[in-house]
Amino acid sequence: MLASGTLVVVAALHLATAQLLCYFPNGRQSTDVPCNVSAPVSMCCGSSKACLSNGLCLLDDTTSSSGNSYARGTCTDPQWTSDLCPKQCLLNQDSPDNSLAYDFRSSGVQVWECDRQGYGAEAEYCCESDREKTRCCSTSTAVFKLPAATIGNAVGQVFTTTTAAAATTTMTTSSASQDATSTSEGFATAAATAPAETSTDTPDEPSSGLSVGAIAGIGVGSETHGRSQEN
């Protein structure tokens, strides 16, 4: 029989381990890492170098005029009730009538900076696949504004519009027992015209010329090397 002191240590280790796990909004486990390992709750990205203070994860995209692209990360709170979990890009306001392109809670989501001046200034963003980003940024209900950011853990709920976080309780989510995957490997890339069916974890090839493997190598959900300086 374990002594009471041993039980306390085991419980503490279990709690500490649980705080290092990251989850998609539907409760499915991700392979991302917490941006702040000492915090009770933290947003997660592929590596701490990819964490931005505006709540996004930084990717390296040489096809962008700013040299950057982004993703909505994951969170150490499996219920996603904490204000420290990303609040944008849960549902796709650009495609509300298409279930395949609408529900962003079971996978990673690419985020595009509509203003293209880099994360160091306040800018407007939109959550969509690469091939839909231009149309998405032209849809006012799908665009949200974020403040200037620095590399570091996000602090609270920082985005200034609520369109991308509305009405999250009525959608049916996937089982949390699925195999863990990374945010980048699970990018939702379905076009708005795709047939309505359950979302999958297998992304299409981005039309930007960056393969999924290349994105996974530099972005959220794998060994990332987010750019710490803007072009």
Mean pLDDT over all residues of the chain? 65
Does the pLDDT at position 56 exceed 70? Answer: yes
Q: For residues 168 and 67, which has the higher predicted lDDT (pLDDT)?
A: 67
Percent of the residues in the chain that have a pLDDT greater than 90, as a whole number: 23
Give the domain ranges of the chain. 9-171+179-218
pTM of the model: 0.62
Contact 71, 219 (CB under 8 A): yes
- For the segment 2-6, the average pLDDT, to the nearest whole number, is 53
Closest residue by Cα to residue 105 from 41, 53, 165, 180:
165
